[in-house]
Amino acid sequence: MKNAAKIVSVVLFLTVFILIISSGGQKAEWKGKIETEDGVKVIKNPPEPLYGEIDFELEEDLVLGSEKDENYMFSGYGTSQ
């Protein structure tokens, strides 16, 4: 019975220890404002992003239609000409 109590107390201690360590980092806090104007809630974001600038690149994967070949254009589809 003493061994089971020791195991449970060690597991609880480790769990609490891990939770304390994992929550120790600073969390980003939103610095915007929520205001009510004429009965409407307006969200005003700060000029700087919450997590800094995010750089990403887009890669074209699929193209439908072409400006050079009118057989594949969608702009006039369904309208009378």
| pLDDT tens figures, 19-73 | 777 766 667 788 889 999 999 999 999 888 877 888 889 999 987 767 777 676 6
> What predicted TM-score, i.e. pTM, was given to this entire model?
0.32
In one-letter notation, the amino acid at residue 32 is: G
Q: Do residues 42 and 36 make contact, with C-beta atoms less than 8 angstroms apart?
A: yes
Question: What is the distance between the alpha carbons of residues 44 and 32, in angstroms, rounded to a whole number?
Answer: 6
Closest CA to 49 of 65, 37, 34, 32: 32
Q: Is the pLDDT of residue 76 over 60?
A: no
- Give the list of residues 6+ apart from residue 75 with CB closer than 8 angstroms, or none: none
CA angle 52, 54, 55 (to 5 degrees): 140
